[in-house]
Amino acid sequence: MNELQTILSDSVNRLLADYSTKQTIVAAEQGEWPKALWDELVANGLTRVLVPEDMGGAGATWSDAYVVLKAAGEHAAPVPLAEAIVAGWILARAGIAIPDGIVTLMEGDFLLKEGRLSGKATRVPFARHATHGVALVKSGWGVEAVLAPLDYARLDKDQNVAREARDTLYFERVVVETGWVELPEDGLRLFGALARSVQMAGALDYLTKQSVAYANERTQFGKPIGKFQAIQQQLAVLSTQSAAAGIAAAHACAAADKGEASFEIAVAKVRVDDASSIATSIAHQVHGAIGFTYEHGLHFATRRLWAWRAEFGSGAEWAEELGRAAMERGADELWPYVTGR
Amino acid sequence: MQTFRFDLCELPEETRGLREEVRAFLAEELKTIPAVIRAQTWSGHDQAFSAKMGAKGWIGMRWPKKYGGHERSAFDRYVVLEEMLAAGAPVGAHWIGDRQSGPLLLNFGTEEQRQLILPKVAKGECFLCIGMSEPDSGSDLAATRTKAEKVDGGYKVNGTKLWTSGANRAHYMIALFRTDPEKKHDGLTQFLVDLKSPGITIRPISDLAGNSHFNEVVFQDVFVPDSMLVGSEGSGWAQVGAELAFERSGPERYLSSYLLMKELIRELSKRGGEEGAKEVGRLIAHLVTLRQMSLSVAGMLDKGENPALEASVVKDLGAVFEQDMPVKAHELIGAEPTIGGGDDFTEVLAYLTQTVPSFSLRGGTREILRGIIARGLGLR
């Protein structure tokens, strides 16, 4: 981290410690919109970190955004911060002004005709709270970014295991803003995967810190359980997994700052997914029964990891893409490819 | 609680030319060497190859020129190492001297010791081994018993070192001996021992695959002159600790099974590339991430930091990855591993299936590494 990122990290973590409290998360899981948290994020410009300064943003890089997204994951912030950051980045690249309000990302099947959007988007994060959705639609000439108001969309409610809203939206000839954008057709899935990978790395860091703290507190057989080698070895594994996830996600952000980053993003999502499966299991094992209760906050992180690992392409899906591409290039080309990027 | 620090570290653009040069050299040098031999990489011993690398200036790359080094950057060195390992070059003869003993002597050695050893090591003509483990001292290194007693002009050494890789073909050993039986950690001292000294018996030990790279080294009233004490008496434990970041984080800690990964991908590609794509993708994701972690530690070493904890993380994750490779190959292909007469895939599979158990033993066992990591987490 450079100096700017260290300062950013400190201030974002402080903000989230104050506003993304257990009480806030519990209320959000019961359907309440965490207005105070969201307003604070907006007021600090954090929803627009990737928007250039001349479009009202912070003009930051993906490597800077890494710090923000990681903190959001670490604090289980129950708001579409990652979605707003990616949406703002896409809109800015398409030359579309960033609207006030809450902007989310929409993956789905769309038809764009004469500036009107029709079709269906599934599992849209926080759609019921959002004012706008951003989609990428393939048109004859290339890919268009679409900014759609959600006032005229029909909405079916659904949620993921973290009880975050994942709604279905139906559009019928809704007037939208559009702009050509130099992104692949699956760019939303790609950069969504990048954002989720970083959030997941943050949640994994939380699991390490929380589990170590608990092992030092909880006493059995006359001493803290962290003094037992069986527990120490498990926590060592947990921490190495979260370290690997962190650098995989950071590497993908750095690649996104340099240009085409689909390989590094796929690597990150796969590696972070693997880390999550190992880490959530260890964290719960170390916590014992108390970590299985709703009262204890451990599950705010573990349930998010279980939800997020399947979003914007599961690790298995990205792994299959990586594997197929590698086999097409041929066995002898793997090393030159890895070292040449 | 502070967890580990893995900052990204990007290889400078200038290393590209060097990488191409190394690749061209290896394409020529390795073209007749079969895959099963290349799979040995840094366990493969080939003095002629080491001499060629020395002539290229690819050993002791970071050392001062006055000791035969080349004053290149840590990143140049990293590129040479990872290219050698990925191609399966037989770099074992000079590996220990280049990685570990050279830097140790630069840190703690006397001018005489450096002049004696380093130029020859850099030429690829002088090989070292590291005498740490003993019959009753494996992971518990502080239990070292081999005794160095003060005598006139030097020390008299008695005892046995065990599992010493490459001792049968090395010229010198960096040995950890007990100079003070009263103290535990502070009673240990490092010495540079000429393996031709009278009283030394080296017996190669065959491993389960029938290869003899590790040894028993018996010392019987061996005289080691005062001038061969490395660092200061009683500082052996601390000095060994400083070496470990070099020993535990390099690209050899995740590339030891790379030849099998390559042959596995080749084998799956032959079958149309439908099968196993997911598993190959996962292996790639782990490989790329480990490389970033290893580079990160290289960056910290270059800045003169001591990332011993991060190095343990790399080695632990790297060994799990390397050991998973024959398992994945078995699950995906299920071919019988073959010794002699097989194709590249089944022969490399046979070699690595038998060899990978040592990867979480050598250079610090998995349990010791995880203990170090747990201490770093504040649990011990």
pLDDT, one tens digit per residue, over A299-339 is: 999 999 999 999 999 999 999 999 999 999 999 999 999 99
The CATH number given to A187-340 is: 1.20.140.10
Contact indicator for B247, B99 with CB cutoff of 8 Å? yes
Smallest CA–CA distance, residue B302 to chain A, in Å, is 17
| H, E, C per residue of chain A | CCHHHHHHHHHHHHHHHHHCCHHHHHHHHCCCCCHHHHHHHHHCCHHHCCCCHHHCCCCCCHHHHHHHHHHHHHCCCCCCHHHHHHHHHHHHHCCCCCCCCCEEECCEEEEEECCEEEEEEEEEECHHHCCEEEEEEECCCCEEEEEEECCCCEEECCECCCCCEEEEEEEEEEECEEEECCCCCCHHHHHHHHHHHHHHHHHHHHHHHHHHHHHHHCEECCEEHHHCHHHHHHHHHHHHHHHHHHHHHHHHHHHHHHCCCHHHHHHHHHHHHHHHHHHHHHHHHHHHHHHHCCCCCHHHHHHHHHHHCCCCCCHHHHHHHHHHHHHHHCHHHHHHHHHHC
Of B269, B369, B371, the CB nearest to A327: B269
Contacts of B6 in chain A (CB under 8 A): 243, 246-247, 250
Sign of the C-alpha dihedral, residues A76, A78, A84, A87?
Answer: positive
Going by CATH, does the domain composed of B15-126 fall within 1.10.3720.10?
A: no
Res B119: pLDDT: 98
How is chain B split into domains, by residue range?
15-126, 130-235, 250-376
Contacts of A226 in chain B (CB under 8 A): 379
Check if A257 contacts B (Cβ < 8 Å): no
Element (H, E) at B281: helix B277-302
Of A244, A321, A336, the CB nearest to B289: A244
Check if A246 contacts B (Cβ < 8 Å): yes
Residues 6+ apart with CB under 8 A from A257: A61, A62, A63
Inter-chain contact B281–A318, Cβ cutoff 8 Å? yes
Number of H helices, E strands in chain B: 13, 8
| Chain A nearest-CA residue for B265 | A331
Of the candidates B208, B126, B124, B205, the residue with the CA atom closest to the CA atom of residue B164: B205
Q: Which fold has domain B130-235?
A: Butyryl-CoA Dehydrogenase, subunit A; domain 2 (2.40.110)
Its ipTM equals: 0.97
Domains B130-235 and B250-376 are alike in CATH topology: no
Question: How far is the C-alpha of A178 from the C-alpha of B336, rounded, in Å?
Answer: 58
Inter-chain contact B7–A1, Cβ cutoff 8 Å? yes
Contacts of B309 in chain A (CB under 8 A): none
Res B105: pLDDT: 97
| Chain A nearest-CA residue for B278 | A320
Of B273, B317, B377, the CB nearest to A327: B273
Of the candidates A119, A146, A122, A120, the residue with the CA atom closest to the CA atom of residue A134: A146
Of the candidates B107, B141, B115, the residue with the CA atom closest to the CA atom of residue B301: B107
Inter-chain contact A339–B378, Cβ cutoff 8 Å? no
Check if A240 contacts B (Cβ < 8 Å): yes
Of A242, A319, A331, the CB nearest to B285: A319
Cβ within 8 Å of B, A 270-289: 270-271, 274
pLDDT digits (tens, 9 = 90+) for A229-276: 999 999 999 999 999 999 999 999 999 999 999 999 999 999 999 999
Res A4: pLDDT: 87
Residues 6+ apart with CB under 8 A from A316: A273, B278
Smallest CA–CA distance, residue B326 to chain A, in Å, is 17
Exposed, middle or buried by CB within 10 Å (0-12, 13-18, 19+), for A301? buried
- Count other C-beta atoms under 10 Å from residue A59's C-beta: 15
Question: Which residues are bridge partners to B346 per DSSP?
Answer: none
Res B3: pLDDT: 72
Strands A219-220, B188-194: pairing is unpaired
Inter-chain contact B287–A338, Cβ cutoff 8 Å? yes
Cβ within 8 Å of B, A 190-229: 205, 208-209, 212-213, 215-216, 226-227, 229
pLDDT tens per residue across all 341 residues of chain A: 888 899 999 999 999 999 999 999 999 999 999 999 999 999 999 999 999 999 999 999 999 999 999 999 999 999 999 999 999 999 999 999 999 999 999 999 999 999 999 999 999 999 999 999 999 999 888 999 999 999 999 999 999 999 999 999 999 999 999 999 999 999 999 999 999 999 999 999 999 999 999 999 999 999 999 999 999 999 999 999 999 999 999 999 999 999 999 999 999 999 999 999 999 999 999 999 999 999 999 999 999 999 999 999 999 999 999 999 999 999 999 999 999 99
DSSP letters, B50-93, are: HHHHHHHT-SSTTS-GGGT-----HHHHHHHHHHHHHHT---HH
At B206 the three-state DSSP class reads coil
- For domain B250-376, the CATH architecture is Up-down Bundle (1.20)
Question: Which residues are bridge partners to B151 per DSSP?
Answer: B154
Inter-chain contact B82–A247, Cβ cutoff 8 Å? no
Of A236, A244, A247, the CB nearest to B374: A236
Of B262, B276, B278, the CB nearest to A316: B278
Q: Locate tokens 């990007």: which residue?
A: B10
Contacts of A268 in chain B (CB under 8 A): 285
Q: What are the distances in angstroms from CA B20 to CA A13, A219, B24, B76, B90? A: 44, 57, 6, 12, 19
Contacts of A320 in chain B (CB under 8 A): 277-278, 281
Question: How far is the C-alpha of B322 from the C-alpha of B317, rounded, in Å?
Answer: 9
| Chain A nearest-CA residue for B273 | A327
Q: Locate tokens 């699956």: which residue?
A: A186
Question: How far is the C-alpha of B80 from the C-alpha of B225, rounded, in Å?
Answer: 36
Smallest CA–CA distance, residue A229 to chain B, in Å, is 8
pLDDT tens per residue across all 380 residues of chain B: 567 899 999 999 999 999 999 999 999 999 999 999 999 999 999 999 999 999 999 999 999 999 999 999 999 999 999 999 999 999 999 999 999 999 999 999 999 999 999 999 999 999 999 999 999 999 999 999 999 999 999 999 999 999 999 999 999 999 999 999 999 999 999 999 999 999 999 999 999 999 999 999 999 999 999 999 999 999 999 999 888 777 888 999 999 999 999 999 999 999 887 789 999 999 999 999 999 999 999 999 888 888 989 999 999 999 999 999 999 999 999 999 999 988 999 999 999 999 999 999 998 999 999 999 999 999 98
How is chain A split into domains, by residue range?
3-180, 187-340
Contacts of A243 in chain B (CB under 8 A): 3-4, 6, 293, 310, 313
Give pairs for A208-212: CB < 8 Å, separation 24+.
A208/A235, A208/A238, A208/A239, A208/A242, A208/A279, A208/B3, A208/B377, A209/B1, A209/B3, A210/A283, A210/A297, A210/A298, A210/A301, A211/A235, A211/A238, A211/A282, A211/A283, A211/A286, A211/A287, A212/A239, A212/B1, A212/B377, A212/B378, A212/B379
Number of inter-chain CB pairs under 8 A, A vs B: 163
Res B41: pLDDT: 94
Exposed, middle or buried by CB within 10 Å (0-12, 13-18, 19+), for B221? exposed
Contact indicator for B120, B126 with CB cutoff of 8 Å? yes
Q: Which pair of structure tokens corresponds to residue B177?
A: 């001996």
Exposed, middle or buried by CB within 10 Å (0-12, 13-18, 19+), for A26? middle
The number of residues making up chain B comes to 380
Element (H, E) at B156: strand B154-165
| Chain B nearest-CA residue for A248 | B289
Inter-chain contact B285–A271, Cβ cutoff 8 Å? yes
Of B1, B82, B279, the CB nearest to A323: B279
Inter-chain contact B374–A205, Cβ cutoff 8 Å? no
- Count other C-beta atoms under 10 Å from residue B215's C-beta: 23
Inter-chain contact A236–B276, Cβ cutoff 8 Å? no
- Count other C-beta atoms under 10 Å from residue B28's C-beta: 9
Contact indicator for B23, B251 with CB cutoff of 8 Å? no
| Chain A nearest-CA residue for B295 | A247
DSSP class of residue B302? H
Smallest CA–CA distance, residue A100 to chain B, in Å, is 35
Question: How far is the C-alpha of B56 from the C-alpha of A271, rounded, in Å?
Answer: 37
Q: Which fold has domain A3-180?
A: Butyryl-CoA Dehydrogenase, subunit A; domain 2 (2.40.110)
Inter-chain contact A235–B316, Cβ cutoff 8 Å? no
Check if A338 contacts B (Cβ < 8 Å): yes
Where are any strands of DSSP class E within B187-234?
A: 188-194, 200-205, 214-225, 229-230
Contacts of B378 in chain A (CB under 8 A): 212, 216
Contacts of B287 in chain A (CB under 8 A): 338
Of B273, B289, B290, the CB nearest to A324: B273
Q: Which pair of structure tokens corresponds to residue A132?
A: 């706008």
Q: Best mutation site among A74, A198, A270, A324 for testing chain B: the one with the most B CBs within 10 Å? A: A270
Of A264, A319, A327, the CB nearest to B265: A327
Question: How far is the C-alpha of A47 from the C-alpha of B87, rounded, in Å?
Answer: 46
Question: How far is the C-alpha of A164 from the C-alpha of A271, rounded, in Å?
Answer: 23
Q: Locate tokens 């994951």: which residue?
A: A73
